[in-house]
Chain A
Amino acid sequence: MSSVLFDIPGPRAQARYRIVGGVSTLVLAALIGWVLWILYQNDQFSQNKWQPFTDPDVLLNLGEGLLLTLRAAAVAILLAMAFGAVFASGRLSNRPWLRWPAALIVEFFRAVPLILLILFIFLLAGGTLSRFWCLVLGLMLYNGAVLAEIFRAGVNAVPRGQSEAAYAIGMRKGQILRIILAPQAVTAMLPAIISQCVVALKDTTLGIIIASEDVIFTGRLIYNDFRYNNAIIVGTMLAIVFITINYSLSKLAQYVERRLASRGERAVDLTKIASI
């Protein structure tokens, strides 16, 4: 941990940090203890609330639910990449009649809350589309719009000399994008794309509004069971599963970003595009 905000502590500062550290450890421990105590007092650690997690059938159902969630996320992100590529090249086009509609569609789907979009697709389809595909379609439109912006930023980050050189040897705009710019942009975009996968995986849970069959659905079946009535515990278990997967993905993104930095390349900055 290097920081310019404070010097390397001398003996007196070290003593002071130790005191502050000790006090804050006590405060944090008291806080966590208090939360655990409230949980205990309200019967959250009783055997019947944890019982479903000892039942192999329940665990198997949760595993199947998780697979459905992962599948929805994977299909959605793949479709979103195609959608994003199409609309990013639309926005990068020279032709206004391509650029404006593409910009409008991308901005629209970025501004609409995803859960509302999924519900809209579901109600509009009126049963002609399975819940799975309603969810995937919503995820595709939203993540595709965000990915389109990431792709655009990635292509714009390639040095101008590259496309100028390609023009000079007589390539057309489409060729330049496909052969010169896109391959170079991919590495810079990789961390941003991985981060977007985390977002897509988290957003898969929004299928709750149309009761799509996934790990949340299975979880609801458990905590709505009057024998268990354990939303806090099921929620915590689900959280642990998602944190494990997403944390690994975030670490991967950081690793790729560091690799890029060590090669002197810069990753696409997400602060203006990113969604949470």
Chain B
Amino acid sequence: MIDFGALREMMPSILDGFWLTLRLLGYSAAIATVVGTVLATMRVSPVAVLRGFGTSYVNIFRNTPLVVLFIIFVTGGPQLLGRVEFTTLATIALSVYTAAFICEGIRSGVNTVPTGQAEAARSIGMGFTQTLTVVVLPQAFRAVIPPLASIYIALAKNTSVAAAFGVAELTYRMRSLNEQFPQETVTRFFGIVLFYMLIVAVISGIAQAFERRLAVS
């Protein structure tokens, strides 16, 4: 089934793809986390316009298939922006999509903080910003870890969509190595899957470590 000789030969190419996948993941995770946090703050804020914007953003981008966002940003992007690297455009599409999920993950975390906490903060005279940043968010952080971990894992897997749009990341190698190793379909598949599993294992390991450190006994 798995030809280890061929696997060793194709490894340099797979590692190149892995590096690009990691870059896609790193950049879009960072951007999506910042945008998602801002959106989550908007969704719980007292200003109706901001709430409406946050809600619309989430409903629009959570219900659009990632492939469609890639069509708009990666295929259509150059019409507006001129020559931009596909990797950059793919990062934008991934961030825009994932931000909607991060927003919902954080909001569900905020909702798990007992109302008494916010009420106590209000009653000693804290404003909205203070209540959120000093009292609620630090506690929400704990509850946010499991949903955020699954979102980052999903993001890691979603970077593979870029393969259909000419970004030579990990999944792209499945096809590009087809010419050199046409017989070793199974070997290529498991060689590539191994690296995705590595990413998934690392993310869930980090999440578990965080959960243990922050656990309240």
Question: A residues within 8 Å of B by Cβ?
Answer: 1, 3-7, 9, 13, 17, 20-21, 24-25, 28, 38-39, 42, 44, 111-116, 119-120, 123-124, 198, 201-206, 208-209, 216, 219-220, 223, 229-232, 234-236, 238-239, 242-243, 246-247, 250, 271-276
Q: Which residues of A contact B46 (CB under 8 A)?
A: 3, 5-6, 9, 13, 17
Indicate if the CB atoms of A115 and B160 lie closer than 8 Å: yes
Task: Give min CB distance, A211 to chain B, whole Å.
Answer: 10
**B14-61 interface with A by 8 A CB criterion:** 44, 46-51, 53, 59-60
Q: Which residues of B contact A4 (CB under 8 A)?
A: 115, 118-119, 122
CB of A116 within 8 A of CB of B71, answer no
Given contacts A24-B50, A232-B79, A235-B72, contact A203 B65 (CB under 8 A): yes
Majority secondary structure of chain B interface residues (helix, strand, loop or mixed): helix
With A112-B196, A231-B76, A232-B80 known as contacts, the answer to whether A205 contacts B171 (CB < 8 A) is: no
The count of residues in chain B whose C-beta lies closer than 8 Å to any C-beta of chain A is 62
Say yes or no: B160 contacts A276, CB within 8 Å: no
Q: Assess whether A120 is in contact with B174, with CB atoms less than 8 Å apart.
A: yes
Q: A220-B71, A239-B68, A250-B62 are in contact. List 16 more A-B contacts (CB 8 A).
A: A5-B131, A7-B122, A13-B46, A111-B200, A112-B196, A113-B171, A115-B160, A116-B163, A208-B164, A231-B72, A232-B72, A243-B59, A246-B63, A271-B146, A275-B154, A276-B154
Number of interchain pairs (Cβ within 8 Å): 175
> By the criterion CB–CB under 8 Å, are A208 and B67 in contact?
yes
List residues of chain B with CB within 8 A of the CB of A39: 80
Contacts of B151 in A (CB 8 A): 276
Q: What is the chain A residue whose CB lies nearest that of B192? A: A116
CA distance A223 to B75 in the complex (A): 9
